Amino acid sequence: MTSATTPRVRFAPSPTGYLHVGGARTALFNWLFARHFGGTLILRIEDTDFERSSQEMVEGILTGMRWLGLNWDEGPFYQSQRLDLYRATAEKLLASGHAYHCFCTKAELEQRRAEAAAAGRPPMYDRRCRSIERSVATGRKAAGEACAVRFAVPDGGTTSFEDAVFGRVEFANAEIEDFVLLRSDGIPTYHLSVVADDLDMRLTHIIRGADHISNTPKQVLQYRALGAELPVFAHVPLILGPDKTRLSKRHGATSVIAYKDMGIVPEAFRNFLALLGWTPGSEHKDKEIFSSDDLIQLFSLDGISKSNAVFNNDKLAWYNTEYIRAYDAKNLLPLIEEEWKVFNFTPERGPEEILSTIELLKPRARNLKDFATTFRAYFSDSFEFEPAAVAKFLKDDATRSLLVELGKRYEQAPEFTEYWAEQILRSFADESGVKAGVLINGARVALTGQAVAPSLFAVMGALGKARVVNRLSGAGKISA
RNA sequence: GGCGCCAUGGUGUAACUGGUUAACACGCCGCCCUCUCAAGGCGGAGAGUUCGGGUUCGAUCCCCGAUGGCGCUACCA
């Protein structure tokens, strides 16, 4: 592939908030697209709204991308450091007559908009400054009068573009107002800076949220005015909450880091996100689990859906269990250690034991948090008994004394393996005239504090003789 | 309000250029397995494709209209 045909794409978040779910998916699609074609992904920070942008948010966005494993090839570039480019672009547009100075003040504009609304007219800019003579305008500007630069939208006709997802999209020019390119303080608006940057960065494909469809004709108009070729636009449908309104804080977590904090594994989140609004096609319709490499290989703009998608937490949770189960214990350990840190928990087991215990537990973990909460008893002697579990399997005094007695049997046993642990328990149950299940269920609670756990004898194997004996001997004192 | 876009079970999606008992996954229900809970295996409920018109021998698929949802409508991005 020659460099001329190698795609160059970008992710261009505005640092007015953390990396949210929708932004993350846009980033993911751009990344997938770039990696699929061996192209270049550029990270551009759109921080021209100084009021709302902050370095903290930039860091948050970078953290989110790293967590998802999305690396970029160029940047991050900051629009706040590229103001000269935008001013020069505005000058070009001014010089070619595609833009003009506007001396209307914000207050005047607002008042006229209110009047228009009251009269039932569309609240568009009335273009009054468009008729000001060039020389007059430059004179007024030179005299120190504040002015913005507006784009002169053609009077009639339509502006259209071919979208890789939506097909041909067309707008009547009469519907597009003479939008502001450069604010009176010399700071560009989004409309100008995107075009100037997308052009300057030689981007070939613009993959972004569908909320930008209506903005696109304003950009197309500038490309034409500048005599530039259009990139390929690909608008991605939005992600909605369960009530089908745009995903927002009302729906709970919207920042990707919040999902990390909730104990979600990044591969699960990425897989889930990739299939929200995109499908690898019918040949793969029976498959749901896709590795990063699979996704890169399969990704294509053709598979992007046109309709908005609802974010489904249940499905995410399912992916999480699938991925946790598939993890190697040694790769899972660092993630679990992070959770332990969050909970201020220190395991009291050796490294080998920890790994084999993770191996035992991971098939039934739903979430990384489980390792620091419900699975505590496997890693430390300080753990809580779940009242419901005690009430269900240990409420009987007789059962508890039998467990204490069972502990003694184990203590005296010459061998303590999963096999012998089971033999001993079952023969003890026979001898005592109780069902093995009673002792098994009771022992599980005595050993783990939980009613839910892996096979009891596997648990015993993981805990080791000393702990098993010790915890069973304390069974008499457990109360609900 | 204006303009634009979209519309398949509760959710995500599939159904080659119109011909299928409308498929898969999540979720839900039941059964099996079983020492609990997951997992796993098996089975089930749940959409006639938003609605109404066309075109056609035949429409999820093409056309028109309606409805609904979403987006844009700033000197925000």
Q: A151-169 pLDDT, tens per residue?
A: 999 998 999 999 999 999 9
Contact A141, A89 (CB under 8 A): no
Alpha-carbon span A174 to A193, nearest angstrom: 23
Alpha-carbon span A154 to A158, nearest angstrom: 9
**pLDDT, tens only, A341-375:** 999 999 999 899 999 999 999 999 999 999 999 99
Please give the model's pTM, rounded to 2 decimal places.
0.94
Alpha-carbon span A395 to A50, nearest angstrom: 63
Q: Write the single-letter amino acid at A32.
A: L
Catalytic residue among A249, A287, A341, A435: A249
d(CA A171, C1' B13) / Å: 31
Q: Which nucleotide shows the minimum CA-to-C1' distance to residue A210?
A: B71
Cβ-based burial of A39 (10 A; exposed 0-12, middle 13-18, buried ≥19): buried
Structure tokens at A148: 């913005």
Give the pLDDT confidence score for residue A479 in this predicted structure: 67
Residue nearest to nucleotide B3 (CA to C1'): A175
Find the mean pLDDT for residues A306-320.
94
A309 touches strand B (CB under 7 A): yes
First to last CA, chain A: 69
Structure tokens at A474: 């304390």
Predicted confidence band at A242 (pLDDT cuts at 50, 70, 90)? Answer: confident
**Beta pairing class for A99-102 and A148-151:** antiparallel
Predicted confidence band at A206 (pLDDT cuts at 50, 70, 90)? Answer: very high
Strand, coil or helix: what is A461?
Answer: helix
Phi, psi of A159 (to 5 degrees): -125, 130
Residue A4 has pLDDT above 70, yes or no: no
Q: Which nucleotide shows the minimum CA-to-C1' distance to residue A167?
A: B5
Give the pLDDT confidence score for residue A2 in this predicted structure: 45
Cis peptide before A76 (omega within 30 of 0): yes
Find the mean pLDDT for residues A215-220.
96
Alpha-carbon span A401 to A407, nearest angstrom: 10
Alpha-carbon span A462 to A184, nearest angstrom: 70
ipTM reported for the complex, 2 dp: 0.94
Contact A163, A213 (CB under 8 A): yes
Residues 6+ apart with CB under 8 A from A25: A236, A239, A273, A274, A276, A277
Give the pLDDT confidence score for residue A122 in this predicted structure: 82
**pLDDT, tens only, A128-151:** 999 999 999 999 999 999 999 999
Contact A111, A118 (CB under 8 A): no
Higher pLDDT, A242 or A198: A198
A315 touches strand B (CB under 7 A): yes
DSSP symbols for A119-151: HT-------GGGGS-HHHHHHHHHTT---EEEE
